[in-house]
Each structure stands twice: as C-alpha cells, then as structure tokens.
C-alpha cells in the first residue's frame, strides 16, 4: 500500500461531513499511536511532520518509520509536511517520499503568498503530491491581539476565493481565530467567516490549533466545511504528564519502555476521543481505492 492521497481522503470527508485527524508526529510513539488508533477505529490518518521534527529525528528515519507503519495499515495513511516554510523544504521532503505538503507563505503579502504557493503546486501536482496552503494568520499568540488586529489577521472570503483559484491548492488552512499552543480562555472562532469561505471556495478546509477548542465548536466547524483538524498540544500534554506520573517517586526506574508505554496508551485514549469527535470512525464511503489515491 502506498501513502494515501490527502486530496482524495479530504474530498470524501467534505462530501460525507466528517473530518480527518492530523496527528503531529514527535517521536516513534506518536507515530504508533496515530496509526494504531486509525487501524482500530477504521479511520484515515494524516501523519503531520514539522520541519523541527525532521531536524530532531532526521528525514530518513522519519520517512522510514512512516513507511513501516503505512505498510502494516489497512486504512489510508498520509505523510504530510506541516507548515513548510519554503520551496526548498518542500522539494526536500518531496524527494524523500512525502505524499502531501503544506506550504505556509501566510507571512507574506497576498500576491507573494499566491506566487509561492502556486510554485509549490506546479512542482507537486505532476508528481501526484497534494498541497495545502494557508491564508491569514494562524499563530500562537492570536489571543493576545487587540480586536482590530485580530480581525485583520483572519482570512478574508474574497481573498480565499482568489487564493484557491489562482494556486490550485487541494486544501486551505484559513485563519478563523484558532491558534497553535495554549489558549487563554475560549477560542473565538468566526463561524460566519468560515461558512462564507467554504461557500466561495468549495475546497476542503483545515482547522489548525485543534487542541483546546471545545467539542461543540469543532463539530460546528466540520459542519461548515472543515475536513481536516490538526491536533498536537493536547497529545504532547497527555504524553508528558503520564511520563511524569510514572517517574514520580520511582527513582530506580530506568527502562524507557516502563514510562513511554503508559504514556503511549494515555495518548491513544486522547487521540481516539478526537477521531470519534471528528466523525472519522469507520467512514463507509472510502475503501482500498481511497488509500491508493
């Protein structure tokens, strides 16, 4: 089985009103959790890999581990570059065997964002590799912005329509008020904006910063066109807190399996809850053809 087509999986999710979970891979256990939960619940899974993780684990190790997991899976598994910062990074992971990439040029003015994203699409599409783009600001400090500044950082529907048309992306991460990392208070998602972006683009939308968003808000976002939800912070917190609990008062414990194993099981519970919230458990509309792309 090859890595799955992200575009195929997300189009099915959009058509059938569920979302696919994007789990950021930080080490072997995170990778195992994502694929094992996907297998157990018969759900697609997107393995998100950041540039920082590639620098930490090594690109060859990362791809080899993902391939080993994919080869044992009967469900669609996507290997995805998360927040690629440059054309050079995209080209690097494409050569290594990633099946989809995200180019995050949202820090640039709209015209430059479109130009760089289109350049990535022109590289990837002939190779059968899918592309996610980003519009607006999805940062880690959005909750600290003043109201006017926060609104200015959100994606505009008219610009989203142009962005999708001019780039040809397969998925769009449109800023609607979510953020990476911890939230200060309840995240304020702009559902009216989301609905309009979905109406004018008809493209699978991506919700970044899925950790910490209330369940009912995630469900509403999925009903308005979100087909992919990224989760990472909650998984890191559950994993790390379990390691701390196991090690607390056990100074003689030195075998990593004795604390990483329980951490992995705790994270599996958290990921399973998210996948079920997303409605991605046993979607009857896909099968072996979806995995092949």
Residue 172 maps to which CATH number?
3.20.20.70
Decide if 1 is inside a domain: no
Residue 270 inside a domain? The answer is yes
Question: What letters, b where the CB count within 10 A reaches 16 and e where it falls short, cover 234-259?
Answer: bbbebbeebbeebeeeeeeeeeeeeb
pLDDT at 152: 53
Contact between 268 and 260 under an 8 Å Cβ cutoff? The reply is no
Task: Residue 274: name the closest of 225, 232, 224, 223 by CA.
Answer: 232
What pLDDT is attached to residue 282? 72
Residue 256 lies in a domain: yes
Q: Which residues contact 231 (CB under 8 A, 6 or more apart)?
A: 21, 22, 23, 24, 210, 211, 271, 274
23 inside domain: yes
Q: How many CB atoms lie within 10 A of CB 214?
A: 11
- Taking 70 as the pLDDT cut, the residues of the chain under it are 1, 137-152, 178-187, 210, 283-293
Count the domains in the chain: 1
Q: Which residue has the tokens 């329980």?
A: 262
Residues paired with residue 273 on neighbouring β-strands, in sequence order: none
* The pLDDT of residue 290: 44
Residue 274: both structure tokens together = 């998210």
User: Is 190 within a domain?
Assistant: yes
Give the domain range for residue 96: 6-292
Q: Which of 248, 276, 232, 172 has its CA nearest to residue 25?
A: 232
Annotated active-site positions, please?
82
Specify if 107 maps to a domain: yes
- pLDDT score for 185: 53
Give the pLDDT confidence score for residue 153 in this predicted structure.
81
Q: What is the enclosing helix (H) or strand (E) of 8?
A: helix 6-15
């Amino acid at each position: 089985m090859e890595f799955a087509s992200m575009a195929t999986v997300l189009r099915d999710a959009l058509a059938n009103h569920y979302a696919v979970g994007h789990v950021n891979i930080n080490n072997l256990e995170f990778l195992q959790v994502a694929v094992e939960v996907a297998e157990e619940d018969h759900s697609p899974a997107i393995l998100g890999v950041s540039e920082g993780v590639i620098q930490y684990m090594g690109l060859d190790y990362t791809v080899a581990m993902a391939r080993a997991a994919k080869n044992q899976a009967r469900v669609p598994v996507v290997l995805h570059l998360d927040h690629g910062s440059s054309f050079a990074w995209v080209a690097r992971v494409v050569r290594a065997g990633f099946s989809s990439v995200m180019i995050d040029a949202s820090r640039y003015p709209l015209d430059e964002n479109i130009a760089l994203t289109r350049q990535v699409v022109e590289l990837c599409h002939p190779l059968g590799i899918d592309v996610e783009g980003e519009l607006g600001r999805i940062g880690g400090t959005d909750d600290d912005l003043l109201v006017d500044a926060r609104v200015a950082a959100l994606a505009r529907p008219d610009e989203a329509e142009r962005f999708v048309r001019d780039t040809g992306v397969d998925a769009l991460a449109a800023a609607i008020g979510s953020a990476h990392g911890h939230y200060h208070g309840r995240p304020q998602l702009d559902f009216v904006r989301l609905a309009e972006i979905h109406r004018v683009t008809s493209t699978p939308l991506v919700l970044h910063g899925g950790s910490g968003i209330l369940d009912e808000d995630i469900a509403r976002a999925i009903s308005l066109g979100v087909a992919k939800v990224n989760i990472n912070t909650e998984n890191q917190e559950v994993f790390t807190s379990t390691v701390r609990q196991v090690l607390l008062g056990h100074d003689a414990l030195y075998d990593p399996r004795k604390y990483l194993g329980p951490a992995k099981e705790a994270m599996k519970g958290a990921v399973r809850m998210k996948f079920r919230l997303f409605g991605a458990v046993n979607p009857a509309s896909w099968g072996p053809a979806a995995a092949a792309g």
